[in-house]
Structure 1
């Protein structure tokens, strides 16, 4: 069995996507910083969980294992 090139590529794509998501969420910190602390907590909680649904990570993991999008 030869190692698949898809796993390292997929790993770097996932890391890049999560990094971009973090930068986008943090770029709003100047605006969010003026909100009430409870609203800030809700924002960061939602932003911290939402990337799971927003980014196509499940499809990427399937592709890394099988070579198919799906």
Structure 2
């Protein structure tokens, strides 16, 4: 696959990942953490704020892919 196309597809995937992940994380927080103490909120948002990086790393690794030889 052409690196340019791979980068475009990866960029679109990362945008969708961030939007969907933010919506899901906020919905879970709203439904589950409404009456929780502040430190539970802090831990949840700390962990969920860092957790999206794992799938994004896989997409970026795929985007880098094998280099085409000339």
TM-score by length of 1: 0.74
Is 1:34 the equivalent of 2:9? no
Distance in 2 (CA, whole Å) between partners of 1:24 and 1:48 is 12
Gaps of at least 5 residues in structure 1 are: none
C-alpha contact (below 8 Å) 1:7/1:64 kept by paired residues: yes
Equivalenced residues, count: 65
How far is 1:67 from its partner? 5.2
Considering only aligned residues, what root-mean-square deviation do their CA atoms show, in Å? 2.2
Give structure 1 regions of 4+ aligned residues with deviation exceeding 3 angstroms.
none
Q: Does 1 or 2 have the higher relative contact order (CA < 8 Å, sep 6+)?
A: 2
Gaps of at least 5 residues in structure 2 are: none
